[in-house]
Structure formats: structure tokens, C-alpha cells
Amino acid sequence: MIGSDLNLNHPTIHDILTEELGIWKICAKPVPKNLTNEQKENHRNVCLDLLEYIENDKIVFKHVITGDESWIFEYNPENKQQSSVWHTSNSLCLKKARMTKLKMKSMLMFFFNSQGVVHKEFVLQAQTVNKQYYCEVLERLRKRVHCVRPEIVDTWVLHRDNAPCHTAISVNKFFNKMGIPMVLQPPYLPDLSPCDFLLFPKLKFLLKGRHFELWTTSKIRDRPAEGTST
């Protein structure tokens, strides 16, 4: 368009823009959401509160249990880094068939703290993670804390993101009834969610390129221990 208006060819226009004017064409950086000033201020205040908690109590996060859910595919292909191999100038050129991840998948719900795994379970194939089901999961988590984390049974705090099933009124009533405090999690702030930036990316990286048999509803119901370990 510039070349047509100025009657100049494309290479000339490109040299003027890049070399003389110092202009580059770049792609916009994707972000979860364009935040308003109020949302940014909320993010800042929550982060400052967490820093204050740490300064006042160095072991405060030993009492925090964080959890989330994510899809685990029966097969997810390796990325380019994982499929690379060492070779010499005399090696044959390797070929790899293009494969896509299978549509068969199971949802994994995972809860952990600084000492390790507290509770994990696969959601049944026909089950939807709604507010009623999430309350049932929280009840199983509460009982699990009594078994594996007795030292924090009266002081543990739950951290979760702002998914609709996590913030429903019935779920908040369950927290109040059981006396379970919550760690604030501002909307659209994945940096404060250990499951998003730490757990699931590393877990799925190790699972890439491996085939798994998805457990049917009957198998999970009859053999929950094996289904969970899978």
C-alpha cells in the first residue's frame, strides 16, 4: 500500500522501514484477558497481602493445599524437543509420522501441598464437574487430610482458581460449614496458581508420546486404586 502511494518498489519500502526508521513487524503477545484498572489493582493488593503473610509467618504456605482439574489424553504426541535425537553426518535422515492427540480423555483432579500429594482422583466418564460433584470431592479431600496430613488438620487452607464450580454459592456454604479458610485467587491471574504453571505442564510433558488405556466407568468404580494410579 505504501509502495503504491509513493510509487516505490517493495524492497525499497522494506529497507526504509527497517533500516532507516527502525520499525519491525511483530505479533501481539497473547494474554488471558485485557484487565481493567480495578482488576490490576486487585491483583496487586492480593499479591501484597500474600507477601505480608509470608513475612509474618514463614511457614504459612505449609498449611496451604492447592488443587485443580485438567484433561489427560489417552495419547498426546511428543513435541519437537522430545522427539529430537543425536545423529552424525553419516546417519540416515529420520522420518516420523505426524500424529495428533486422541479425543479419548479423562479428567484428573489433583490436590497437593508443599509436602506432596494429598488427594487425587479421576472423574468418571459420564460425570460432569459441577458444584454438587465438587462438594463431594471436597468432602473426600477433607477426610484425606485427616489421614495423610494430621499435623495441619485444624489449620489447612484451600487454594483454588475461579472456575464456576469452584466459586458457586453451595461450595462457599460448604467451606463455611466445615470452617475451611480460602486463599484469595484473583480472576485471570494464573501466576498464582501452582497447578497451572507448575504441576500440569510438567505432568503432561512426561506423558507425551505414551499410550494409556482409559478406564471405563465400571472399571474405575470397581478398582479405584488402580484407576487413580493410572
Residues 39-77 pLDDT 10s? 899 999 988 988 888 888 878 888 999 999 999 888 778
For residue 136, pLDDT beyond 70: yes
For residue 82, pLDDT beyond 90: no
- 7 in the Ramachandran plot: left (φ > 0), alpha (ψ -120 to 50) or beta? left
For residue 134, pLDDT beyond 70: yes
The CA-atom distances, in angstroms, between 52 and each of 33, 79, 182 are 27, 40, 16
| Three-state DSSP class for residue 70 | strand
Q: For the residues of 146-187, what is the DSSP string, one character each?
A: HHH-GGGTTT-EEE----TTTS-HHHHHHHHHHT--B----T
For residue 100, pLDDT beyond 80: no
Q: List the domain boundaries for the chain.
A: 1-30, 35-81+99-229
| Predicted TM-score (pTM) above 0.75 | no
**Cα separation of 201 and 12, whole Å?**
45
The pLDDT score that the predictor gives to residue 224 is 43
Q: Phi and psi dihedrals of 12, rounded to 5?
A: -65, -45
For residue 138, pLDDT beyond 90: yes
The pLDDT score that the predictor gives to residue 213 is 66
The pLDDT score that the predictor gives to residue 150 is 94
- The CATH-assigned architecture of domain 35-81+99-229 is 2-Layer Sandwich (3.30)
The pLDDT score that the predictor gives to residue 188 is 82
Mean pLDDT calculated for residue range 81-89:
76
The pLDDT score that the predictor gives to residue 137 is 94
Q: Give the chain's count of helices (H) and strands (E).
A: 10, 4
For residue 217, pLDDT beyond 50: no
pLDDT tens digit sequence for 156-185: 999 998 888 998 999 999 999 999 898 888
Lowest mean pLDDT among 134-138, 181-185, 210-214: 210-214
Confidence at 214, pLDDT banded by 50, 70, 90: low
Mean pLDDT calculated for residue range 215-227:
42
For residue 92, pLDDT beyond 60: yes
Q: Where are the beta strands (DSSP E) in 60-215?
A: 64-73, 105-113, 116-122, 157-159
From the list 59, 47, 52, the residue with the least C-alpha distance to 115 is: 59
pLDDT tens digit sequence for 16-38: 888 888 888 888 777 777 888 99
